[in-house]
């Protein structure tokens, strides 16, 4: 079976947004909108389209712009990160427009940003970097190929864990250590350095092309702007009515990252992201002849990729920890 996913596997139920009118932004940097309040406060950034085919986040930003959103204090920036990749979106091959040349979300270390390499994504990252260098609180809006319960990824720092829990939605917050393949935007040093107060989190809000994913993102955005006191409680509730009745989120720590070592990796059944496998030592997958078993009780399956090629992450396993 080829690694490409056709549209028959993942129906596109969400219309891509028309972004031509929004693409210029209002800051001189394409795709960047920024609004300042006369009252002092944090600089908050909400980022969409880090991956070009994950346009649920762009629908959210477009809606915020059409509502004329303005922060009650500080600054609010809305960023369409990879418009060039999004422009290539084709519903007949909806997974092909994740990026143009390389993954925008693996570039965020100084050695790469300051290094000699060049690509469409690196040029874009370098043009956005001065803005990110002024951001105090960042929410990066992502979605997933495989249908999964929404979750928030907060990296390894306590400050980002606290931010994710304070946002209050999604109800699962996962502390992790990122990807071996390169640093994500939320791992960019100014955010990931425990010595600063600045923090960034990433929401994986659901399947790329479902309306429910847009709603989950609105809940995170409303929770964020309520937490930063940039949006009044009533305005936050109008953006996401479900936010008021939410229980406190659960915090989980990644205990193991399962990488496919063979070209024949398969789960024993179609697990859904967010599922909890109760018993330790339960068989969840076969990698060639090797058995993959849960390393502990109450094992949370984080973003299982039901078709994984060799060398790629198949699933992360996590355990609930005290919040
Ligand atoms: Zn993504």
Going by C-alpha positions, the residue among 261, 317, 323, 322 that lies closest to residue 293 is 317
How confident is residue 2, by pLDDT bands cut at 50, 70 and 90? very low
Q: What is the pLDDT of residue 70?
A: 94
Phi, psi of 242 (to 5 degrees): -70, -15
Please state the rounded mean pLDDT for residues 110-122: 97
Task: Calculate how far, in angstroms, residue 54's C-alpha sits from the geometric centre of ligand 1.
Answer: 6
- Report whether pLDDT(115) > 50: yes
Low-confidence winner among 40-49, 213-222, 228-237 (lowest mean pLDDT): 228-237
Neighbours of ion ligand 1 (CB under 5 A): 51, 54, 142
What confidence tens digit (pLDDT) does each residue in 32-57 have? 999 999 999 999 999 999 999 999 99
Q: What is the pLDDT of residue 8?
A: 53
Q: What is the pLDDT of residue 180?
A: 66
How confident is residue 1, by pLDDT bands cut at 50, 70 and 90? very low
Q: For the chain, what is the mean pLDDT?
A: 94
Task: Calculate how far, in angstroms, residue 103's C-alpha sits from the geometric centre of ligand 1.
Answer: 9
Helix (H) or strand (E) holding 85: helix 83-86
What sign has the CA pseudo-torsion 46, 254, 155, 312? negative
Please state the rounded mean pLDDT for residues 303-308: 92
Q: What percent of the chain has pLDDT over 70?
A: 97
- Cα 292 from Cα 317, distance rounded (Å): 11
Please state the rounded mean pLDDT for residues 18-22: 96
- Cα 85 from Cα 88, distance rounded (Å): 5
Give 139's strand partners.
46, 201
Q: Would you say 76 and 26 are in contact if contact means Cβ atoms under 8 Å apart?
A: no
- Report whether pLDDT(3) > 70: no
Q: Does domain 32-248 have CATH number 3.40.50.300?
A: no
Q: What is the pLDDT of residue 244?
A: 80
Please state the rounded mean pLDDT for residues 205-216: 96
Please state the rounded mean pLDDT for residues 236-248: 87
- Cα 159 from Cα 164, distance rounded (Å): 9
Task: Calculate how far, in angstroms, residue 74's C-alpha sits from the geometric centre of ligand 1.
Answer: 27
Q: Do domains 32-248 and 252-321 have the same CATH topology?
A: no
What confidence tens digit (pLDDT) does each residue in 157-204 have? 999 999 999 999 999 999 998 766 789 999 999 999 999 999 999 999
**Lookup: tokens for 208:** 């790329």
Give 293's strand partners.
283
Task: Calculate how far, in angstroms, residue 106's C-alpha sits from the geometric centre of ligand 1.
Answer: 11
How confident is residue 288, by pLDDT bands cut at 50, 70 and 90? very high
Q: What is the pLDDT of residue 171?
A: 95
Please state the rounded mean pLDDT for residues 294-322: 94
Q: Is 120 helix (H, G, I), strand (E, B) or coil?
A: helix
Low-confidence winner among 80-84, 123-127, 307-311 (lowest mean pLDDT): 307-311
- Report whether pLDDT(28) > 70: yes
Task: Calculate how far, in angstroms, residue 132's C-alpha sits from the geometric centre of ligand 1.
Answer: 18
Instruction: Break the chain into its structural domains and give their ranges.
Output: 32-248, 252-321
Task: Calculate how far, in angstroms, residue 149's C-alpha sits from the geometric centre of ligand 1.
Answer: 15
Going by C-alpha positions, the residue among 275, 321, 322, 316 that lies closest to residue 147 is 275
Task: Calculate how far, in angstroms, residue 81's C-alpha sits from the geometric centre of ligand 1.
Answer: 11
Task: Calculate how far, in angstroms, residue 142's C-alpha sits from the geometric centre of ligand 1.
Answer: 4
Q: What is the pLDDT of residue 11?
A: 85
How confident is residue 323, by pLDDT bands cut at 50, 70 and 90? confident
Q: Would you say 32 and 77 are in contact if contact means Cβ atoms under 8 Å apart?
A: yes
Please state the rounded mean pLDDT for residues 260-273: 95
Q: Does domain 252-321 have CATH number 1.10.1220?
A: no
Q: What is the pLDDT of residue 34?
A: 98
Q: Is 320 helix (H, G, I), strand (E, B) or coil?
A: strand
- Cα 122 from Cα 247, distance rounded (Å): 40
Q: Which segments within the chain are labelled E, that is strand?
A: 32-36, 43-48, 75-80, 137-144, 151-153, 172-175, 199-207, 250-259, 265-267, 276-277, 283-287, 290-293, 299-302, 313-321
- Cα 239 from Cα 68, distance rounded (Å): 13
Please state the rounded mean pLDDT for residues 209-221: 96
Going by C-alpha positions, the residue among 139, 21, 119 that lies closest to residue 79 is 139
């Amino acid at each position: 079976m080829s690694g490409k996913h056709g549209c028959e596997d993942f129906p596109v139920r969400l219309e891509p947004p028309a972004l031509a009118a929004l693409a210029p932004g209002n800051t001189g940097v394409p795709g960047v909108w920024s609004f300042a309040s006369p009252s002092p406060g944090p600089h908050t950034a909400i980022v969409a389209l880090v991956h070009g085919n994950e346009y649920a986040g762009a629908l959210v930003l477009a809606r915020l712009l059409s509502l004329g959103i303005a922060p009650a204090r500080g600054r609010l920036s809305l960023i369409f990160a990879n418009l060039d990749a999004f422009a290539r979106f084709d519903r007949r091959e909806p997974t092909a427009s994740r990026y143009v040349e390389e993954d925008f979300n693996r570039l965020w270390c100084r050695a790469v940003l300051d290094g000699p390499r060049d690509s469409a994504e690196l040029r874009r990252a370098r043009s956005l970097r001065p803005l990110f260098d002024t951001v105090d609180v960042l929410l990066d809006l992502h979605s997933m190929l495989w249908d999964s319960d929404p979750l928030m990824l907060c990296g390894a720092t306590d400050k980002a864990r606290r931010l994710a829990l304070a946002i209050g939605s999604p109800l699962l917050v996962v502390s992790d250590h990122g990807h071996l393949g390169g640093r994500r935007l939320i791992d960019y040093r100014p955010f990931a350095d425990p010595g600063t107060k600045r923090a960034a989190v990433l929401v994986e809000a659901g399947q790329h092309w479902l309306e429910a994913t847009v709603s989950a993102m609105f809940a995170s955005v409303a929770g964020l702007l309520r937490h930063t006191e940039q949006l009044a409680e009533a305005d936050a509730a109008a953006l996401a009515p479900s936010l008021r009745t939410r229980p406190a989120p659960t915090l989980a720590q990644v205990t193991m990252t399962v990488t496919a070592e063979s070209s024949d990796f398969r789960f024993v059944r179609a697990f859904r992201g967010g599922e909890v496998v109760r018993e330790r030592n339960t068989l969840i997958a076969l990698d060639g002849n090797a058995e993959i078993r849960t390393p502990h009780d109450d094992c949370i399956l984080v973003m299982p990729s039901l078709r994984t090629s060799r060398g790629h992450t198949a699933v992360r396993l996590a355990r609930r920890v005290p919040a």
